[in-house]
């Protein structure tokens, strides 16, 4: 076993080096999920554990919240779960380790082969959309792994969400293997196989429940918060700017409410809108985000905008700018949903982008007018 | 949940369809159904233009303007003039070299 472990690790190094000078995929420390080998007519195949460790779960958490997911990969190729033989099923997966882990943890009572495609560390559905989880890559991996010598049958089980990239009839033509489309979720695989490779209607549908929407929100909040310092700097300058220079006391006293409102609009667009998605009226994400933003801002102004700053120009600015920011951020969530199509998003953008530009210009003019009245020029 | 109504670019050509049912199997949103041994579009508004059905129809009876339904990707492609692609998770500069 140690030799094989070494071999897999060497493969990792090779992959890392062959990937130009860009650092390459991070080496998985010690590869603790490889627990032995299975002999086949074409040589030993690494056997993987179907239990996830604490390390695995910690890494998954990091994938949900940070850029860790950009480099979270498995070496493509053939793996064994349990004690597979020449009649065992072949399950196809992506080399995003999270996808691979979701599959292997469902294989506790199965003896199966796992064929990992090189999807550049991207999950099945996204990679299928790009084509890296695709017909050509599948045919190539079948031949590289010499699958026709490892198993006697001629079928591979591909996750249904790989179908945008994989063309079953073309794989049959080029590689000689039948593609059976398995269920959407790995957890249904045992039931699917037991039923004689039949998936129920339920297993074939992609839903988008609250829990799925919520785990995606950190990756909506992060990019929005990256732009926040820029916004904060701008607001502080606007409020601190006086004919005599920048007054820090004014900057904070005047700017703070608007910094808080900025945070509220980020939360409205990146957290509330995704969470309440089915309950916010209208199908357009820009409108959904605008409505949520408007509600959140009108609630917040009761607490955040003190009477002393009750300035008409600032009030109009508040209701123009912040719901728009929420709308823009909510529109970004289209990239994470399971049901938005390109034609629809394009249609939204055609209307939303000019509106955002117009609103931004007017917001800027309002702030300028506010400053001028403050200085007594207007 | 459904997205904007009547925008999906999915098209079905019944004369080429043999009713094999492959498209029904791969569609994640039950957009298609079989009726009188032919595929029919039963709920266009659910179509997310993923292209799975088109890719797996052995008879070329379906077309769709396949693409990413992601605002960030589409805005980026408007600015840079390139093809829209969802590069936010993994395919960025650091990784795109291979
Ligand atoms: S896959 Fe093509 S031929 Fe088969 S039912 Fe669907 S449209 Fe008809
Ligand atoms: S493009 Fe995708 S969502 Fe639309 S009908 Fe085809 S498989 Fe279904």
Contacts of A56-65 spanning 24+ positions with Cβ under 8 A:
A56/A101, A59/A97, A59/A98, A60/A98, A60/A101, A63/A98, A64/A215, A64/A218, A64/A219, A65/A218, A65/A219, A65/A222
Domain topology for B11-80: Alpha-Beta Plaits (3.30.70)
Kindly tell me the burial class for residue A243, based on how many C-beta atoms sit within 10 Å of its own C-beta (0-12, 13-18, 19 or more).
exposed
B20 touching A, CB under 8 A? no
Task: Give me the residues paired with residue A90 across strands.
Answer: A113
Query: Does ipTM exceed 0.90?
Result: no
Contact B90, A69 (CB under 8 A): yes
* pLDDT-based confidence at residue A375 (cuts at 50, 70, 90): confident
Taking the CA atoms of chain B, what radius of gyration do you get in angstroms? Answer: 16
* Domain A2-204 CATH class label: alpha beta
For chain A, what are the domain ranges? 2-204, 210-374
Would an 8 Å CB–CB cutoff place A327 in contact with chain B? Answer: no
The H or E element that residue B38 is part of is strand B38-41
Q: Which of A176-180, A257-261, B78-82 has the lowest mean pLDDT?
A: B78-82
In chain B, which residue's Cα lies nearest the Cα of A169? B58
Residue pairs spanning A and B at CB distance below 8 A: 165
In the prediction, which pLDDT does A305 show? 66
Helix runs in chain A, H state only: 2-18, 54-65, 97-104, 124-130, 135-144, 147-150, 168-175, 189-194, 201-204, 210-216, 218-226, 228-240, 248-267, 273-275, 285-304, 312-332, 342-374
Q: What pLDDT is recorded for position A27?
A: 43
Q: Which residues of A331-361 are buried (b: 16+ CB within 10 A; e: fewer)?
A: bbbbbbbbbbbbbbbbbbbeebbeebeebee
* pLDDT surpasses 80 at A25: no
For residue B97, give both structure tokens.
């070299």
Token pair in block for residue A47: 């056997």
Looking up tokens 């210009």 gives A361
Assess contact for A160 and A204: CB atoms under 8 A. yes
Of A230, A350, A322, A329, the closest CA to residue A272 belongs to: A329
Residues paired with residue A87 on neighbouring β-strands, in sequence order: none
Please compute the mean of the pLDDT values over residues A191-210 and round it to a whole number.
94
- Which positions 195-224 of A are in contact with B (Cβ < 8 Å)? 199, 201, 204-206, 208
Residues 214-273 of A with CB under 8 A from B: none
Cα A302 to Cα A232, A299, A362, A375: the distances in Å are 21, 6, 24, 27
Element (H, E) at A284: none
- For A279-318, the pLDDT digits (tens) are 999 999 999 999 999 999 999 988 876 555 578 899 999 9
Using one digit for the tens of pLDDT, what is the confidence trace for A314-338?
999 999 999 999 999 999 999 889 9
pLDDT at residue A216 is higher than 70? yes
Q: What is the mean pLDDT of residues B31-59?
A: 95
pLDDT tens figures, B58-91: 999 999 998 888 888 888 888 887 777 766 543 3
Encode pLDDT of A51-99 as tens digits. 888 888 988 898 888 887 877 889 999 999 999 999 999 999 999 999 9
């Amino acid at each position: 076993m140690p030799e094989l472990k070494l071999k897999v690790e060497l493969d990792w190094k090779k992959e890392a080096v062959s990937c130009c000078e860009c650092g390459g995929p991070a080496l998985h420390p010690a590869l603790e999920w490889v627990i032995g080998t299975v002999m086949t007519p074409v040589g030993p195949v690494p056997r993987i554990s179907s239990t996830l460790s604490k390390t695995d779960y910690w890494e998954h958490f990091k994938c949900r919240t940070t850029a860790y997911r950009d480099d979270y990969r498995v070496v493509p190729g053939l793996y064994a779960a349990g004690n597979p033989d020449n009649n065992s099923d072949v399950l196809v997966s992506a080399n995003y380790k999270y996808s691979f882990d979701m599959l292997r943890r469902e294989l506790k009572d199965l003896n199966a082969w796992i064929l990992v495609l090189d999807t550049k560390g991207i999950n099945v559905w996204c990679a299928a959309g790009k084509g890296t989880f695709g017909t050509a890559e599948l045919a190539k991996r079948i031949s590289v792994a010499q699958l026709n010598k490892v198993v006697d049958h001629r079928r591979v089980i591909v996750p249904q969400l790989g179908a945008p990239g994989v063309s079953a009839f073309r794989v049959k033509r080029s590689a000689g293997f039948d593609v059976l489309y398995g269920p959407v979720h790995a957890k249904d695989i045992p039931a699917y196989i037991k039923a004689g490779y039949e998936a129920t209607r339920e297993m074939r549908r992609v839903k988008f429940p609250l829990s799925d929407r919520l785990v995606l929100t950190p990756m909506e909040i992060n990019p929005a918060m990256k732009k926040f310092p820029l916004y904060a700097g701008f607001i502080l300058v606007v409020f601190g700017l006086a004919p005599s220079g920048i007054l820090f006391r004014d900057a904070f006293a005047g700017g703070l409410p608007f910094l808080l409102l900025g945070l509220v609009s980020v939360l409205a667009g990146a957290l509330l809108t995704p969470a309440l998605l089915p309950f916010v009226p209208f199908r357009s994400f820009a409108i959904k985000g605008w409505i949520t933003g408007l509600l959140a801002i009108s609630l917040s102004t009761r607490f955040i905008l003190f009477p002393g700053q009750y300035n008409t120009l600032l009030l109009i600015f508040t209701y123009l700018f912040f719901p728009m920011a929420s709308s823009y951020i909510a529109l970004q969530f289209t990239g994470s949903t399971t049901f938005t199509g390109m034609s629809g998003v394009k249609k939204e953008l055609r209307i939303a982008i000019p509106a955002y530009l117009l609103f931004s210009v007017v917001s800027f003019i309002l702030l300028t007018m506010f400053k001028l009245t403050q200085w007594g020029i207007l | 949940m459904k997205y904007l109504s009547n925008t999906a670019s999915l098209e079905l050509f019944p004369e080429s369809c043999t009713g094999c049912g492959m498209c029904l199997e791969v569609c994640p949103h039950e957009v298609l159904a079989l009726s009188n041994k032919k595929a029919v579009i039963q709920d266009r508004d659910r179509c997310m233009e993923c292209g799975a059905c088109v890719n797996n129809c052995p008879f070329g009876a379906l077309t769709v303007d396949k693409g990413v339904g992601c605002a960030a990707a589409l805005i980026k492609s408007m600015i840079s003039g390139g093809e829209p692609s969802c590069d936010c998770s993994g395919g960025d500069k650091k990784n795109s070299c291979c």
